[in-house]
Amino acid sequence: METFHNIGTSTDWVVMVVYFLAIMLFGTYFGRYTKNTSDFFFGGRRFSWWLITMSIVATGVGSHSFVKYSAKGFEHGFSSSMTYLNDWFFIPFFMFGWLPIIVYSKVRSIPEYFEKRFNPSARFLATILLLFYMIGYIGIGFLTLGKAVIPLLPESFYIFGSLIEITLMRAIIVIAIITGIYITFGGQTAVIFTDLLQGFILLFAGFLLFVLGISYVGGGQEFWDLLPLSWKLPLADFNKPSSFNFVGIFWQDAVAGSIGFLFMNQGLLMRFMACKSVNEGRKAATINILFVLPLSAIVVGNAGWLGKAMSVMDPNIVSPNTSPDEIFVVVASIVTSPGIFGFIMAALTAALMSTVDTLINATAAIFVNDVYRPIMKYLKKIYANDNQKDKEELFAARISSMAITVAGVLSVLAFIQFPTVYEAHGYFHSTLTPPLVVAIFMGVFWKRFTPAGVITTFLGGVVLMILGARFPEIFISPFDHGIEMNPDRPYSYIRAFYNLIACVGVGVFVTMTTSFQHKIVSVIKNNKNSNTIMLVVSLIASIIFLLVILGSSTFQFIFPVFIIVLVPIIVTYYGKYDEELSTKGLTVYSINEAKKAFKGSELNETHGEQVEVKLQVSNHDEDKIMCSKNDLLKLGAEVGDLVYLSDKRKWLGGLKSIHSRFGKSHNEDGIVYLNKDQIEHGLFDKNKILIAEKEM
């Protein structure tokens, strides 16, 4: 493959440097709105749908997308965009299942949901898997950033008389430092507002590149005529070639990738959890899926299509042997003028950074909530007050953000071996998402799914996945759909299908045999040596699991059977599980119960209207707002109902707002009383009109 260096001019570099400085200043500016861990991770749960939509755009389109889909567009044509529309299949399950459960159950991370729904052991295993997933995702983002920037840089340069060679890892380290600055000190609010800016930039820049490219090749008809017939097809062949086919794309990108992105990407969930309400989150998801994603598919893929057209028009302009991961940069440099190229590259790095910053922030949330807090609880850490606790947790969040950034850089080493970002990302998704994806989906949509089922899905699923990777001709080939196996990376795409089937099979089997497990446990408990027996069983299961991981036994083919049989017995023996209590408000069938628990009382479904009010300062200590009796009547509200109070200026997107409850009423219409803490947290200006609306 042909690679490039020194693409671009000094003007382009000036544009890019100015952009980076602007982003850093923009992010650190909004860092001043971060007062506590709720602000740092969830932005205070205050933002409007349109702001979250643009943030989702920047997050979803970012990371690998420009490089990944441009590469596949160059190699295969329009079918490269098919993967970008897969969320259509699964968004309803997210909007009406997973999203309201996450919000109304008041969980701060995905592993916390596993503890509420199942038990602490499930939370522990989910934390490990999710941290691997998130840090690996960060690594993919950094790898993509590095590959995008390398063509712009010289092969080496002198500094203080010393020759410094520019390598991929050195470029990634510099990028990580830049990204880490504003995420460490800004938090979720900084991320959302920088993503707002970056989302607009990348959409505009992507379409600008397409227009300039079409003009360069002579117009729309000329562009169409230059493309080979196979590049014009909307879908790849069913099962050929082995590197890119419809079946592989569906199982890897649509099922493992899209469900993984929607259900287990903590960064995406934190975007929706930053919305002021579930309905606002649904609006954001709907607009994104119906309008923004189809546009984004064109934005991220068109450089590849243009590159192919140019290579047909004149191989001297774009060589057919150009490295696919570099085609975006190459095409952009050809069709743009100095300065515009710098802007386009700034947009690319904007997209890449927007996803990386989200993932770092989200991983820090998981660390604080599921590692730091349990450790402090175990150590019986005593805080002087809630403010001290929150300050220490906020400090831990910022330190963990820096540590996670470093871990993300190190994880790049695991993906450098892959020829393209697409293959690296696909292998990553196929390997790490299935256990968690299956566990979340069945936990939300299957009330009977048990702790034994979820834990065995994690452990037994991983065992079967490992054996599938070692012996693909035995385990994966029955699911290959006629796809030829590439000996270098066997079944790199269809592997996701096998892994999903393995995890689903384990979860369903264990759950359907629950009564059998209870019978065995009952027999063991009736034995006077029951504790000794279970210690031996637990030891055997642990040894077997380690032997599979290490691959050091000739009996590893039968080991999954032992894991699938023994683990449920162990979990059932030691665990206590009340299905009614553990599923209430935590499955799709009990969302109304979740809403009641969220509010803490019966729901008020009375329809009301928004009311304009003026702010008055009160000395009351309760976290409540005081409205007049007439205003409560207009709102359709009663004392104790939840209320969302925001600045009237819609363009703020909810930045100046709070959630609270209605306290005792008064007789001053159009006046709302708040205490100083509420005013400070809501960032309210005393001379501005506020809007009050009842939530439930």
Task: Note whether 326 and 8 are within 8 A (CB).
Answer: no
Return the residue matching tokens 């069945």: 442
DSSP 8-state secondary structure symbol assigned to residue 275: B
| CA dihedral of residues 391, 397, 398, 400 (deg, nearest 10) | 140
Residue 584 token pair: 């209430």
Three-class DSSP labels, 47-110: ECHHHHHHHHHHHHHCCCHHHHHHHHHHHHHHHHHHHHHHHHHCHHHHHHHHHHHHHHCCCCCH
**Exposed/middle/buried for residue 416 (C-beta within 10 Å: 0-12, 13-18, 19+):** middle
Residue 627 token pair: 């409205």
Q: Could you give the 3-state DSSP secondary structure of residue 674?
A: strand
Q: Report the alpha-carbon distance of residue 462 to residue 483 in Å, rounded.
A: 24
- Beta-ladder partners of 690: 613, 647
Q: Report the alpha-carbon distance of residue 469 to residue 605 in Å, rounded.
A: 53
Q: Report the alpha-carbon distance of residue 561 to residue 473 in Å, rounded.
A: 20
- Beta-ladder partners of 164: 157
What does the pLDDT look like over 541-579, one tens digit per residue?
888 888 888 776 667 778 888 889 999 999 999 988 888
Return the residue matching tokens 């309400």: 277
Other beta carbons within 10 angstroms of residue 151's beta carbon come to: 21
Residue 16 token pair: 């890019």
399: Cβ contacts below 8 Å, ≥ 6 apart: none
Task: Note whether 613 and 621 are within 8 A (CB).
Answer: no
Residue 165 token pair: 């060679």
C-alpha distance from residue 454 to each of 129, 415, 489, 576, 587 (Å): 13, 29, 30, 14, 14
Q: Could you give the 3-state DSSP secondary structure of residue 582?
A: helix
User: Rounded to a whole number, what is the distance in angstroms from the first to the last CA of the chain?
Assistant: 60
117: Cβ contacts below 8 Å, ≥ 6 apart: 443, 582, 583, 586, 587
Task: Note whether 635 and 645 are within 8 A (CB).
Answer: no
79: Cβ contacts below 8 Å, ≥ 6 apart: 72, 233, 234, 235, 236, 244, 246, 249
Nearest to residue 584, comparing CAs of 269, 122, 116? Answer: 116
What does 621-641 look like in DSSP terms, one character per residue? -SSEEB-BHHHHHHHT--TT-
Residue 332 token pair: 């952009």
195: Cβ contacts below 8 Å, ≥ 6 apart: 54, 55, 57, 58, 59, 354, 357, 358
DSSP 8-state secondary structure symbol assigned to residue 590: G
- Beta-ladder partners of 612: 691
Return the residue matching tokens 């997209």: 351
Other beta carbons within 10 angstroms of residue 339's beta carbon come to: 13
Give me the half-sphere count of Cα atoms (radius 13 Å) on the Cβ side of residue 655: 19
Other beta carbons within 10 angstroms of residue 529's beta carbon come to: 10
Residue 317 token pair: 């302009």
Q: Report the alpha-carbon distance of residue 316 to residue 310 in Å, rounded.
A: 9
The parts of the chain modelled with pLDDT lower than 50 are 39-43
Nearest to residue 206, comparing CAs of 80, 62, 319? Answer: 62
Q: Report the alpha-carbon distance of residue 442 to residue 450 in Å, rounded.
A: 10
pLDDT value of position 686: 79
What does the pLDDT look like over 35-84, one tens digit per residue?
555 544 444 577 888 878 877 777 666 556 777 888 888 888 888 777 76
pLDDT value of position 62: 59
Task: Note whether 273 and 102 are within 8 A (CB).
Answer: yes
461: Cβ contacts below 8 Å, ≥ 6 apart: 434, 435, 438, 499, 502, 503, 506, 507
Return the residue matching tokens 């037994």: 460
Q: Could you give the 3-state DSSP secondary structure of residue 283?
A: helix
pLDDT value of position 41: 47
Helix H or strand E segment including 134: helix 120-149
What does 170-212 look like in DSSP terms, one character per residue? HHHHHHHHHHHHHHHHHHHHHHHHHHHHHHHHHHHHHHHHHHH
Residue 436 token pair: 């968690």
Residue 381 token pair: 């850490």
381: Cβ contacts below 8 Å, ≥ 6 apart: none
Q: Report the alpha-carbon distance of residue 240 to residue 253 in Å, rounded.
A: 16
Residue 665 token pair: 């009423």
Classify each residue of 188-199 as buried b or exposed e, where b means 16 or more C-beta atoms within 10 Å of its C-beta: bbbbbbbbbbbb
Q: Report the alpha-carbon distance of residue 202 to residue 23 in Å, rounded.
A: 14
